[in-house]
């Protein structure tokens, strides 16, 4: 009886774990949730490499030729350029945060009254991070 049970177990395991040559060829199995089914002709490795080489240069050129986003430092330089400010050691352009998806900068001069430093505000300026357009928010 033990021998019969052992043979039955081996037979079940061998049939469940065996390789089924007919169904493992391309297109033999129906796709599972994690697999995709390709209905057209599969390109060769060489065709895939040629296609990848042809696509890369145009993508790289587009990335370098278009500037689609300005950083905070770029925006700060745009504010200085917009106001035609020289490098004055008493003048400051500071990033204050975001307002309406724009960078917000506070432009002021540091002056001393009665030996106390005071900020003399020139204005608050917004910079659009996509276009680089500088606008006066508040004087």
* Residue 132 DSSP code: -
Residue 103 to residue 71: CA distance in whole angstroms: 9
Q: How far is residue 86 from each of residues 73, 74, 103, measured CA to CA in Å?
A: 17, 16, 21
Single pTM value for the model: 0.50
Alpha helices in the chain (DSSP H): 2-17, 45-65, 72-82
- Encode pLDDT of 73-128 as tens digits: 999 999 999 988 777 667 889 999 999 899 999 999 888 888 888 888 989 999 99
Q: Residue 21: CB partners within 8 Å, gap ≥ 6?
A: none
């Amino acid at each position: 009886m033990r021998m019969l049970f052992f043979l039955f177990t081996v037979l079940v395991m061998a049939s469940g774990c065996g390789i089924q040559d007919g169904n493992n060829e391309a297109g033999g199995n129906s796709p599972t949730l994690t697999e995709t089914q390709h209905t057209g002709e599969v390109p060769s490795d060489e065709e895939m490499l040629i296609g990848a080489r042809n696509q890369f240069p145009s993508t790289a050129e587009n990335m370098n030729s278009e500037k689609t986003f300005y950083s905070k430092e770029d925006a700060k330089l745009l504010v200085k350029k917009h106001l035609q400010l020289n490098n004055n050691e008493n003048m400051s352009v500071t990033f204050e945060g975001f307002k309406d998806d724009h960078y917000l900068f506070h432009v002021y001069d540091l002056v001393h009254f009665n030996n106390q430093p005071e900020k003399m505000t020139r204005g608050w300026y917004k910079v659009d991070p996509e276009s680089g357009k500088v606008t006066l928010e508040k004087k």
